[in-house]
């Protein structure tokens, strides 16, 4: 009895599953052979390197008629196999039909976002961001939602945590490319104006330094450490620094150099002006 060679076998349409000897990953697919047993091992794109690095093994799961209807049925079956596995970290399929895996969507989003950032279009258009930010801010302020719906203490804590994270990861204002930009791009007058505006806002809202509770906390914390006599270590340190500083009256150098308190007493005794503008630090 003659044995039929490979050339006499008919090509097939089938559903297959690729697994690997070294890792537990797998890949579903449908294939239409050009000739019987053509050595096909799948058609990956995103994870193609695994087919080169590891040892793939192809398992034929179901064979269909070699017709247009058979191919359509195989494709439908392939989709049904992939659907429950799509976002499984071990499944190497990243889409089925018109549906993409979450990872592919993330990659596409990052790519699109970077492109928009480079071209300054879409959300990265300065005018679009400005208008959207103003509208969103006004809505949140009106409805007490978003950041406007968070308690002040929680906002402070979130800001503190965000600042620590940005510093540790060198991102945002702490990114190497951003360090020093504020000082270079903002004039001294603008810095002063912004500081005054922020201070006035905090004063009106009784926030930041103008919050009495914070002032009390700061004072209490600063003087919490005591020496053996029960005196504030911080106060003694500040006092020592102040006492060691030397000042002179620029208009009356004959009075000599004194600490600020003594200089004022000498000026008063002589009947001389003794305001801040009447002394200059010399040591």
Q: Model confidence at 202, in pLDDT bands (50, 70, 90)?
A: confident
229-245 residue pLDDT tens: 777 776 667 667 766 77
SS3 of 74, please? helix
Residue 93 belongs to a domain: yes
Is 198 found in the same domain as 267?
no
Residue 266 belongs to a domain: yes
Length of the chain: 283
Is 262 found in the same domain as 199?
no
Residue 84 has pLDDT above 60, yes or no: yes
Residue 25 has pLDDT above 60, yes or no: yes
Q: Containing domain of residue 93, as a range?
A: 9-100
Give percent of the chain above pLDDT 70: 68
The per-residue pLDDT for 124 is: 57
Is 55 found in the same domain as 27?
yes
Residue 69 belongs to a domain: yes
Residue 40 belongs to a domain: yes
Is 190 found in the same domain as 180?
no
Residue 111 belongs to a domain: no
The per-residue pLDDT for 7 is: 46
Is 242 found in the same domain as 204?
no
Which of 41-50, 150-159, 209-218, 220-229 shows the lowest per-residue confidence on average (mean pLDDT)?
A: 209-218
Residue 227 belongs to a domain: no
Is 124 found in the same domain as 94?
no
The count of structural domains within the chain is 4
User: Of the candidates 100, 129, 158, which is a domain's last residue?
Assistant: 100
User: Of the candidates 66, 100, 134, which is a domain's last residue?
Assistant: 100
Alpha carbons 102 and 95: distance in angstroms, whole number: 9
CA Rg value for the chain? 37
Residue 106 belongs to a domain: no
Is 238 found in the same domain as 201?
no
- In this prediction the pTM is 0.37
Is 163 found in the same domain as 85?
no
Give percent of the chain above pLDDT 90: 22
Residue 56 neighbours by CB distance under 10 Å:
17
Is 20 found in the same domain as 86?
yes
Mean per-residue pLDDT, 96-112: 63
210-223 residue pLDDT tens: 666 666 666 666 66
The per-residue pLDDT for 199 is: 74
Is 77 found in the same domain as 17?
yes
Is 88 found in the same domain as 126?
no
Q: Which residues have C-beta within 8 Å of that of residue 27, sequence separation ≥ 6?
A: 17, 18, 42, 44, 47, 91, 92, 93
Is 94 found in the same domain as 48?
yes
Residue 109 belongs to a domain: no
Residue 133 has pLDDT above 70, yes or no: no
């Amino acid at each position: 009895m003659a044995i039929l060679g490979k050339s006499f076998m008919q090509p097939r349409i089938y559903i297959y599953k690729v697994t690997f000897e070294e890792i537990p990953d797998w890949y579903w697919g449908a294939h239409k052979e050009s000739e019987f047993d053509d050595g096909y091992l799948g058609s990956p794109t995103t994870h193609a390197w695994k087919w080169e690095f590891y040892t793939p093994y192809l398992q034929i799961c179901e064979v269909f008629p070699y017709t247009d209807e058979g191919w359509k049925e195989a494709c439908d079956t392939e989709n049904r196999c992939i659907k429950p596995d799509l976002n499984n970290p071990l499944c190497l399929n990243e889409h089925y039909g018109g549906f993409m895996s979450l990872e592919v969507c993330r990659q596409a989003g990052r790519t699109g976002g970077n492109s928009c950032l480079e071209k300054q279009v879409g959300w990265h258009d300065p005018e679009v961001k400005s208008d959207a930010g103003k509208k969103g801010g006004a809505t949140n302020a009106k409805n007490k939602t978003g950041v406007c719906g968070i308690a002040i203490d929680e906002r402070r804590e979130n800001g503190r945590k965000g600042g620590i994270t940005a510093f540790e990861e060198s991102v945002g204002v702490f990114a190497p490319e951003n360090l020093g930009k504020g000082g270079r791009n903002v004039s001294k007058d603008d810095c002063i104006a912004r500081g005054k505006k922020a201070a006035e806002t905090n004063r009106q809202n009784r926030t930041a330094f103008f919050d009495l509770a914070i002032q009390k906390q700061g004072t209490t914390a600063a003087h919490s450490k005591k020496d053996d006599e029960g005196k504030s270590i911080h106060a003694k340190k500040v006092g020592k620094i102040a006492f060691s500083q030397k000042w002179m009256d620029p208009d009356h150098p004959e009075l000599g150099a004194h600490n600020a308190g003594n200089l004022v007493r000498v000026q008063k005794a002589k009947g001389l002006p003794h305001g801040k503008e009447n002394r200059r630090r010399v040591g």
